[in-house]
């Protein structure tokens, strides 16, 4: 137990890694090694080209056995990268794996002090001395295992979320698929065709939507948002808000005793509804009623009442009739709790509000539209039945300019600094659609670079050029409108000719940048997921762990992690689903044993720590006639808030105990002098 | 270095001149000088052409601001500083407003003009403008026709500038003397006679 601390004479082994030239390029390894030998308790100090390699790890295991070491220090890279590796090597040698301490002399040293070798070497010596001081006081710790809930949750039901849910459910895991809109399908259901195969977006998506709806293992929760999240990997406790839909599904109706009732999707209600609002699915270019579905292929086919618009006249209730009784205009939001083991976030994206780049005149000139509006206008099920028109006069445009990098690759602070990655390809597809649908029409594509990197993408670029699209290498400087004809003058430089160009066109399509969806920030905070500078969610490692996050048990799929096209989104969704299924199939997860431990003889039972704990891990219990604090180890994250605060010093933070930290500080401040 | 061939005919030699650019002909310090004086990260230009597309001078001249940015990055100092187009920028700052890399191409051009002036490469009209400012405080001084027009509009004949308050002229001259602008303008103009 914590209060009885007996240390054998510490015998520490220090291993300094060259990491090729990553460390050895700026730090004098020999000097650090020789210095380590002079430190108290150090029995052996060695070095190796790559400590993480098999021979490097063997050195550790062998030294433990030969020298009877009690603690290991490796001076190498970040513990984020190789702490698990060296812990295994420590265990291999017969020591408890928590008797290992890492000194980061790469990310926090050689890489940032590349041109100051002397100072870097001095800093590396400090880091090693501090690590040795801690390693001398490390103790055996035993990780705890907790059982994993055999259910998963996917947040967001676009193509990525749907794929992740299908994979999880097909692997035998009950999956909650949460979608804030009334229907699943996401942005892909708004697209007309997909590049480079030109298959109809709805035609390939609808079967998947039906699969999701019918899958026994998926509990579909549309018009639902995540309200609160508690818990940790294996045991997330998620509160969901089922927004008031005002319409009952057949199951909900049956539950209320209306046998054979509930919404059949007949649409009688919408016919009689007197309230007209713009349909957000058509980007406001078509009307909908206050009781509505977005489009005919919605899933589930259940109507929704827009209570912000509904005047509660009751006509829909009458139209629905006494038998079905599907409409409940007094519906209220409902909260529900679910327990899940792992979570996949597939939060999607929004179009950047491109009107902020006022030089292109979006929302100011009638005939400047965005690419997503173009998709709806060229789509046979869209507001114009697939006839592309100029918004100003309904005429068919013949000369159409496409503005690429509209708000992407923009460092002004107005747009987005990143490449939005799929605009080049969909603009090529748009060019094809125009040539195909409008005889004599010419697409002019204003581009900086055409990024056609995917499989069959460059071939698609070749095809569109062959079909007659005109490419002008120059970013559009500004667009002016002829006030009489409403034609547009696109000003740019043809950089290949080296001449400015003023091109009069009938329609301009802005390939607007994408940005994280509106709810991404809120949702990521609920799940404790980090984001990068540009707002996209941060993966655990950009190359080696692109689906994971720094929060155990939470995974990422699709554009919410960074712009990507449909194939990449689906691929990442399958990766995330696979990663999310591992802890569930294993049945238990090991928690790092960095718990707070209450030293009960010192604890006065004041309870101040209980309220401070951000994870609700602490409580007061009665024990042997005294009130003492108790730690629920599965909930404790080892943050140290309680341990730092406890007025009686009665809380022992395992692996970050006060004597260990004080020893580190002393080692640093006293420069090794005792 | 450009390959030279000994054609007897001078005209032929000029026509068949080697037009490749060679790295030894470039000056890697040029971009650093431009950035230091212009206070803009000119080396970050990605040649999109938004600047030239925005430029009011470009449609009516051979001035291409994007090309000057390119020459700065490549260190083609000679070519940039001796190009008469360097002086066609009106400093309207449209390119700076719209540059997606958030650079100030106008300031890069001003920096190059600075560097050219240090080598006495300045169009004569610019030097004459400098002389006029020294004399009157104006690049375009008031004149008889203007005075009549002003009075017709109910304004005073002289505007609220050094024309009306000539006592401020010495201040302007002091600044110009500090930079030896008048002195150099006089000298270069005299040498060019």
- Can you give the pLDDT at residue A673? 56
Choose among A543, A544, A515: nearest CA to A531.
A515
Chain A nearest CA to B41, separation (Å):
12
Q: What is the mean pLDDT of residues A273-278?
A: 97
Interchain CB distance below 8 Å, B48 and A500: no
Secondary structure (DSSP) of A240-258: EEE---SB--HHHHHHTT-
Cβ-count burial of B145 within 10 angstroms (0-12 exposed, 13-18 middle, 19+ buried)? exposed
Same domain, A206 and A318: no
C-alpha A174/C-alpha B81 separation (Å) is: 71
Same structural domain, A418 and A499: yes
Residue A325 resides in a domain? yes
What pLDDT band is residue A80 in, cutting at 50, 70 and 90?
confident
In the predicted model, what is the mean pLDDT of chain B?
A: 94
* CA distance readout (Å), B23 to A402, B1, B2: 37, 8, 10
Name the β-bridge partners of B23. none
Q: Are A217 and A224 in contact (CB under 8 A)?
A: no
Give per-residue pLDDT as tens, A162-212: 999 999 999 999 999 999 999 999 999 999 999 999 999 999 999 999 999
Q: Which residues pair with A343 in a beta bridge?
A: A153, A554
Q: Are A546 and A561 a contacting pair, CB within 8 Å?
A: yes
The phi and psi torsions of A279 (rounded to 5 degrees) equal: -90, 115
Q: Do B48 and A498 touch (CB under 8 A)?
A: no
Query: Is residue A673 situated within a structural domain?
Result: no
Mark whether A425 and A377 lie in a shared domain: yes
Distance CA(A657)–CA(A596), nearest Å, equals 9
| Cα A435 to chain centroid, rounded | 38
Alpha-carbon gap, residue A186 to A184, rounded angstroms: 6
Residue A307 lies in a domain: yes
Q: What is the CATH number of the domain that holds A525?
A: 3.50.50.60
The stretch A489-506 carries a mean pLDDT of 97
Please choose, from the candidates A73, A71, A21, A86, the residue with its C-alpha nearest in 3D space to the C-alpha of residue A46.
Answer: A73
Name residue, tokens 């002389």.
Answer: B131
Contacts (Cβ under 8 Å, ≥6 apart) of A15 = A45, A46, A47, A48, A51, A56, A59, A60, A63, A72, A73, A74, A75, A76
Any chain B CB within 8 A of the CB of A448? yes
| Tens-place pLDDT, residues A341-383 | 999 999 999 999 999 999 999 999 999 999 999 999 999 999 9
Residue A58 touches partner B, C-beta closer than 8 Å = no
Q: Are residues A631 and A492 in the same domain?
A: no
pLDDT in tens, A640-661: 999 999 999 999 999 999 999 9
Compute the distance between CA of residue A337 and CA of residue A350 in angstroms, rounded to an integer: 28
Provide the residue range defining the domain that includes A293: 250-332
State the pLDDT confidence band at A5, using cuts at 50, 70 and 90.
very low
User: Both A411 and A498 in a single domain?
Assistant: yes
Residue A22 lies in a domain: yes
- Sorted by sequence, the CB contacts under 8 Å of residue A267 that are 6+ apart come out as A293, A303
Predicted-complex ipTM score:
0.88
Q: Specify the DSSP element, H or E, that contains A175.
A: strand A174-178
Q: Which residues, including other chains, have CB under 8 Å from residue B9's CB and lie 6 or more apart?
A: none
| Closest chain A CA to residue B47 | A495
With CB atoms and an 8 Å threshold, state whether B53 touches A412.
no
Q: Has residue A500 got a pLDDT over 80?
A: yes
The band of A2, judged by pLDDT with boundaries at 50, 70 and 90, is very low
Lowest-confidence region among A140-144, A191-195, A214-218, A409-413: A140-144
Predicted confidence at residue A422, as pLDDT, reads 97
Which helix (H) or strand (E) segment holds residue B183: the answer is: helix B181-192
Q: How high is the pLDDT of residue B25?
A: 85
Task: Give the closest residue to A67 by CA, choosing from A88, A46, A51.
Answer: A46
Rounded Cα distance, B178 and A595, in Å: 71
Least Cα distance to A527 among A82, A222, A178, A150 occurs for A178
Q: Would you kindly state where each structural domain of chain B is located, as residue ranges?
A: 21-118, 124-192
CA A191 from chain centre, in angstroms, equals: 23
A178, A225 Cβ separation under 8 angstroms: yes
Mean pLDDT of A300-317: 96
Residue A94 lies in a domain: yes
Choose, out of B42, B44, B47, B50, the residue to mutate when testing the contact with A (most A CBs < 10 Å): B50
Backbone angles phi, psi at A147, to 5 degrees: -70, 150
Architecture of domain B21-118: Orthogonal Bundle (1.10)
- In DSSP notation, B59-115 reads GGSS--HHHHHHHHHHT-HHHHHH-GGGGG-----HHHHH-TT---HHHHHHHHHHH
User: How close B44 gets to chain A, by Cα (Å)?
Assistant: 11
Which residues does residue A352 pair with via DSSP β-bridges, in sequence order?
A: none
Mean pLDDT of the region A59-82: 94
Q: How many CA atoms lie within 13 Å of A638's alpha carbon, on the beta-carbon side?
A: 11
Statement to judge: residues A278 and A401 lie in one domain? no
Mutate to test the interface with B, among A493, A511, A512 (most CBs of B within 10 A): A493
Residues A492 and A365 in one domain: yes
Q: Which pLDDT score is estimated for A7?
A: 56
Phi, psi of A358 (to 5 degrees): -70, -15
C-alpha to C-alpha distances, B45 to A3, A497, B33, B67, nearest whole angstrom:
64, 18, 16, 11
Shared domain for A33 and A110, answered yes or no, is yes
User: Shortest CA distance to A217 belongs to which of A182, A181, A175?
Assistant: A175
Q: Which residues of B are less than 8 Å from A405 in CB distance?
A: 48, 100
Statement to judge: residues A511 and A521 lie in one domain:
no
B10 pLDDT more than 80: yes
On the question of a cis peptide bond just before residue A390, with omega within 30 degrees of 0, the verdict is: no
- Spatial distance between the Cα atoms of A150 and B145, rounded to a whole number of angstroms: 91
Does pLDDT of A3 surpass 50?
Answer: no
A278 forms bridges with which residues in the sheet? A287
Query: For chain A, how many structural domains are there in total?
Result: 5
Q: Which of A418, A362, A365 is nearest to A392 (CA)?
A: A365
pLDDT of residue A40: 92
Q: Does the structure show a pLDDT above 60 at A331? A: yes
Same domain, A293 and A441: no
The fraction of chain A above a pLDDT of 90, given in percent, is 92
Q: Is residue A659 part of a domain?
A: no
Nearest of B103, B112, B118, B36 to residue B68 by alpha carbon: B112
For residue A672, the model assigns a pLDDT of 58
The model's pLDDT over A95-136, given as tens digits with 9 standing for 90+, comes to 999 999 999 999 999 999 999 999 999 999 999 999 999 999
In the numeric block, the tokens 């005109």 are attached to A470
In 3D space, the residue among B87, B47, B50 whose CA is nearest the CA of residue B70 turns out to be B47
Does the beta-carbon distance from A493 to B100 stay under 8 Å?
Answer: no
State yes or no: pLDDT of B14 exceeds 60: yes
Give pLDDT, residue A307.
96
Q: Tens digit of pLDDT for each residue in B77-136? A: 999 999 999 999 999 999 999 999 999 999 999 999 999 999 999 999 999 999 999 999
Res A166: pLDDT: 98
8 Å CB contact of A476 and B100: no
A1 pLDDT higher than 60:
no
Is residue A38 domain-shared with residue A81, that is, in the same domain?
yes
State both tokens at A137. 């006081």
- The single residue listed with the structure tokens 């002229």 is B169
- Residue A257 domain-assigned? yes
Rounded CA-CA distance A77/A151 in Å is 36
Closest CA to A26 of A87, A134, A108: A108
Q: Closest CB to B54: pick one of A412, A413, A478.
A: A478
Q: What is the pLDDT of residues A125-147, one digit of tens each?
A: 999 999 999 999 999 999 889 89
- Mean pLDDT (whole number) for A544-550: 92
Together in a domain, A94 and A126? yes
């Amino acid at each position: 137990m914590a209060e009885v601390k007996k240390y054998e004479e510490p015998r520490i082994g220090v291993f300094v890694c060259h990491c090729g030239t990553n460390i050895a390029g700026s730090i004098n390894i020999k000097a650090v090694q020789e210095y380590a030998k002079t430190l108290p308790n150090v029995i052996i100090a060695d070095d190796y080209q790559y400590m993480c390699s098999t021979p490097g790890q063997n050195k550790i295991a062998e030294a433990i056995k030969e020298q009877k070491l009690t603690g290991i220090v490796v001076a190498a890279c970040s513990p984020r990268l190789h702490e698990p590796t060296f812990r295994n090597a420590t265990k291999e040698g017969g020591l408890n794996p928590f008797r290992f301490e890492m000194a980061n002399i790469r990310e926090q040293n050689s890489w940032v002090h590349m041109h100051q070798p002397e100072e870097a070497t001095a800093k590396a010596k400090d880091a090693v001395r501090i690590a040795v001081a801690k390693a001398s006081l490390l103790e055996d710790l035993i990780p705890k295992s907790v059982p994993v809930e055999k259910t998963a949750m996917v947040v967001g039901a676009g193509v990525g979320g749907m794929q992740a849910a299908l994979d999880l459910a097909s692997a035998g895991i009950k999956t909650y698929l949460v979608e804030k809109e009334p229907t699943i399908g996401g942005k892909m259901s708004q697209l007309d065709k997909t590049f480079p195969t030109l298959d109809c977006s709805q035609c390939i998506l609808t079967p998947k939507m039906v699969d999701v709806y019918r899958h026994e293992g998926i509990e579909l929760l549309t018009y639902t948002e995540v309200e609160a999240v508690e818990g940790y990997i294996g045991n997330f406790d998620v509160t969901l808000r089922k927004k008031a839909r005002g319409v009952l599904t057949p199951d909900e109706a049956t539950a209320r005793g209306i046998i054979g009732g509930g919404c059949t999707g007949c649409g009688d209600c919408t016919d009689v509804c007197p309230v007209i609002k713009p349909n957000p699915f058509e980007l406001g270019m078509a009307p909908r009623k206050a009781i509505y579905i977005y489009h005919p292929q919605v899933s589930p086919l259940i109507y929704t009442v827009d209570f912000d618009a509904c005047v509660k006249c009751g006509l829909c209730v009458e139209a629905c009739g006494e038998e079905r009784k599907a409409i409940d205009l007094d519906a209220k939001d409902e909260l529900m709790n679910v327990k899940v083991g792992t979570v996949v976030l597939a939060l999607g994206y929004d179009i950047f509000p491109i009107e902020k780049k006022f030089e292109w005149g979006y929302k100011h000139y009638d005939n400047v539209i965005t690419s997503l509006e173009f998709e709806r206008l060229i789509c046979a099920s869209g507001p114009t039945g697939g006839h592309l028109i100029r918004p100003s006069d309904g005429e068919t445009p013949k000369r159409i300019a496409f503005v690429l990098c509209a708000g992407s690759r923009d460092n002004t602070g107005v747009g987005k600094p990143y490449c939005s990655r799929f605009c080049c390809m969909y603009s090529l597809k748009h060019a094809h659609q125009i040539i195909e649908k409008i005889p004599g029409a010419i697409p002019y594509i204003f581009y900086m670079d055409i990024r056609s990197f995917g499989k069959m993408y460059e071939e698609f670029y070749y095809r569109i050029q062959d079909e007659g699209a005109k490419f002008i290498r120059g970013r559009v400087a500004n667009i002016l409108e002829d006030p009489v004809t409403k034609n547009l003058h696109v000003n740019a430089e043809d950089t290949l000719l080296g001449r400015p160009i003023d091109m009069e066109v009938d329609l301009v399509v802005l390939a607007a940048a994408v940005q994280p969806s509106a709810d991404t920030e809120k949702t990521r905070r609920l799940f404790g997921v980090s984001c990068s500078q540009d707002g996209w969610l941060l993966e655990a490692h950009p190359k080696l762990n692109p689906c994971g996050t720094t929060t155990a048990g939470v995974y990422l799929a699709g554009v919410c992690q960074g712009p990507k096209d449909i194939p990449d989104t689906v691929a990442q969704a399958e990766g995330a689903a696979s990663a999310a299924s591992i802890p569930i199939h294993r049945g238990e997860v090991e928690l790092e044993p960095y718990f707070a431990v209450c030293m009960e003889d010192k604890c006065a039972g004041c309870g101040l720590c209980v309220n401070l704990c951000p994870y609700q891990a602490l409580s007061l219990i009665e024990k042997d006639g005294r009130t003492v604090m108790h730690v629920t180890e599965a909930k404790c994250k080892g943050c140290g808030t309680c341990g730092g605060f406890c007025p009686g010093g009665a809380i022992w933070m395992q692996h970050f105990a006060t004597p260990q930290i004080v020893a580190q500080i002393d080692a640093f401040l006293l420069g090794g002098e005792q | 270095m450009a390959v030279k061939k000994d054609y007897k005919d001078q005209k032929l030699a000029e026509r068949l001149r080697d037009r490749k650019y060679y790295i030894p002909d470039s000056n890697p310090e040029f971009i650093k000088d431009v950035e230091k004086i212009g206070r803009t990260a000119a080396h970050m230009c990605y040649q999109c052409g938004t600047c030239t597309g925005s430029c009011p001078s470009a449609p009516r001249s051979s001035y291409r601001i994007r090309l000057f940015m390119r020459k700065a990055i490549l260190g083609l100092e000679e070519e940039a500083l001796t190009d008469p187009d360097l002086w066609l920028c009106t400093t309207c700052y449209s390119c700076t407003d719209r540059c997606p890399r958030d650079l100030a191409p106008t300031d890069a051009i001003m920096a190059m003009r600075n560097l050219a002036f240090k080598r006495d490469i300045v169009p004569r009209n610019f030097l004459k403008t400098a002389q006029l400012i020294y004399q009157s405080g104006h690049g375009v001084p008031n004149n008889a026709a203007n005075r009549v027009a002003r009075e017709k509009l109910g304004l005073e004949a002289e505007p609220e500038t050094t024309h009306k308050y000539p006592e401020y002229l010495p201040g302007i001259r002091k600044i110009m003397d500090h930079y030896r602008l008048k002195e150099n303008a006089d000298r270069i103009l005299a040498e060019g006679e």
